[in-house]
Chain A
Amino acid sequence: MAAYMSAGRSANAFSTHDFVPEWAQEEVSTGTTIMAVEFDGGVVIGADSRTTTGAYIANRVTDKLTPIHDHIFCCRSGSAADTQAVADAVTYQLGFHSIELDEPPLVQTAANLFQQMCYRYREELMAGIIVAGWDKRRGGQVYTVPMGGMIVRQPVSVGGSGSSYIYGFMDSNYKPGMTKEECLHFCTQALALAMERDGSSGGVARLAAITEEGLERRVVLGHQLPKFSNT
Chain B
Amino acid sequence: MISLGQLVFQVEYAMKAVENSSTAIGIRCKDGVVFGVEKLILSKLYEQGSNKRIFNVDRHVGMAVAGLLADARSLSEVAREEASNFRSNYGHNIPLKYLSERVAMYVHAYTLYSAVRPFGCSFILGSYDQDDGPQLYMVDPSGISFGYWGCAIGKAKQAAKTEIEKLQMKDMTCRELVKEVAKIIYIVHDEVKDKAFELELSWVGEVTNGKHELVPKDIRVEAEKYAKVCTTTTSLLHGISVTWVQNNSTFKVFFPHFMVTN
Contacts and interface: CB of A to CB of B under 8 A. Distances in A.
Contacts of B131: 137
Q: Which of B91, B92, B97 has the most CB of A within 10 A?
A: B91
A106 B95 contact: no
Contacts of A108: 90-92
Interface in B82-136: 89-92, 95, 97-98, 131
Interface stretch (A109-117, A166-174, A215-223): A109-117
Interface in A104-127: 106, 108-109, 111-113, 115-116
Interface residues of B, number: 8
A101 B98 contact: yes
A100 B98 contact: yes
Contacts of A60: none
Contact of B91 (A101, A102, A109): A109
Contact of A106 (B89, B92, B97): B92
B95 A111 contact: no
A109 B95 contact: no
A228 to B, nearest CB: 39
Interface in B136-155: none
A105 to B, nearest CB: 9
Contacts of A113: 89-90
A218 B90 CA distance: 31
B95 A101 contact: yes
B90 A109 contact: yes
A112 B98 contact: no
B89 A116 contact: yes
A112 B86 CA distance: 11
A106 B95 CA distance: 12
A113 B97 CA distance: 21
Contacts of B98: 100-101
B91 A112 contact: yes
A116 B85 CA distance: 13
Contacts of B95: 101
Contacts of B91: 108-109, 111-112, 115
Contact of B89 (A102, A111, A112, A137): A112
Contacts of A111: 91
Contacts of A116: 89
Contacts of A106: 90, 92
A108 B89 CA distance: 11
Nearest to A137: B131
A160 B90 CA distance: 26
A6 B91 CA distance: 36
A139 to B, nearest CB: 12
Interface string A133-144: 000010000000
Nearest to A111: B91
A113 B88 CA distance: 10
Contacts of B90: 97, 106, 108-109, 112-113
B60 to A, nearest CB: 15
Interface string B63-97: 00000000000000000000000000111100101
Nearest to A109: B90
A190 B121 CA distance: 61
Interface in A86-108: 97, 100-102, 106, 108
A108 B90 CA distance: 8
Contacts of A101: 95, 98
A152 to B, nearest CB: 12
A143 B98 CA distance: 25
Contacts of A109: 90-92
A149 to B, nearest CB: 13
A113 B98 CA distance: 18
A4 to B, nearest CB: 29
Nearest to A100: B98
Contacts of A137: 131
19 contacts: A97-B90, A100-B98, A101-B98, A102-B97, A106-B90, A108-B90, A108-B91, A109-B90, A109-B91, A109-B92, A111-B91, A112-B90, A112-B91, A112-B92, A113-B89, A113-B90, A115-B91, A116-B89, A137-B131
Interface of B: 89-92, 95, 97-98, 131
The 6 closest A-B CB pairs, nearest first, are A112-B91, A109-B90, A137-B131, A108-B91, A101-B98, A112-B90
